Amino acid sequence: MEQPILQLYPPPHAARALSGLYLAHDVRQFANAPAPYLYANFVTSLDGRIAIARPDGSGLMVPQNIANERDWRLYQELAAQADLIISSGRYLRDWAAGRAQEILQTDDARFADLRAWRMARGLKPQPDIAIISGSLDFPIPDVLTRDGRQAIFFTTAHPNPERVREINAKAGQVIVAGENRVEGKLFAQRAYELGYRVIYSGAGPKILHLLLQAGVLNRLYLTSVNRILGGNPFATIVDGALLEPAVNFKLHALYFDAAGLDGLGQMFMSYDCVYG
């Protein structure tokens, strides 16, 4: 982590340390807003891919040739600032199959400073986790409630009562946030009513579409890695129907990481959403 990065925007250009870069964005400054502050993050190849097919055909995975420790550090810094992290039923199914890792790794010695950062601000060691799922069809791992974490399951109307009782008894509470599908505005409203003010999406492109369509996403973080992957199926940061109207973004910050990927380099970007 010793190699600095170059801040390109906003000016002036300056060398910056990687550790602490996204903590300095201080998204918790928005915790007193009248609505939750939602932000999301993705790492992509130059051709816009965030995932490729697993060799065994069991779905998609983050390509190992774009995943890297320097980007992962910043991912952890974003997660550390949240009250609530959004995930999905797919994540829990992948966890049960041994294909997923913990979203925020404050028990990892590499990120002990992030645990201390949270504790110094009176936050729990881990943010709570929101699972968005229409079916509630997934195993419930113990990791959901570790370190005093609570799990909130956002689903559609008329969920299976037996499944709801099972989830309530083992992991957390079930909240209805839509009739036939979970709706972004209802999700944000219900989460706010539960006391969550700063919400990070560690979920995939379908959840990003849900948040954008509802106009509740506030900021998007992107890492663009200097590699082209190709391949089918094509998986990019948003998956869903055409957004009408299109969602506009304004550049918030831009950094060049010359040391990323053993000197190939990568760009760290953040954008504020502009609606209306």
19-274 CATH choice from 3.40.190.80, 1.10.286.10, 3.90.640.10, 3.40.430.10: 3.40.430.10
Residue-averaged pLDDT of the chain: 90
Pick the residue with more confidence: 97 or 109?
109
Q: Is residue 104 pLDDT above 60, yes or no? A: no
Q: pLDDT tens across 64-81, in order? A: 999 999 999 999 999 999
Name 5's bridge partners.
16
pTM (two decimals)? 0.93
pLDDT at residue 12 tops 70 = yes
In the chain, the amino acid numbered 251 is L
Compute the half-sphere exposure of residue 101: CA atoms within 13 Å on the CB side of its CA. Answer: 10
Give me the residue spans of the domains in the chain: 19-274
- Does residue 31 surpass a pLDDT of 60? yes
pLDDT at 238 over 80: yes
pLDDT at 100 over 70: no
Percent of the chain with pLDDT strictly greater than 90: 69
Residue 1 pLDDT > 60: no
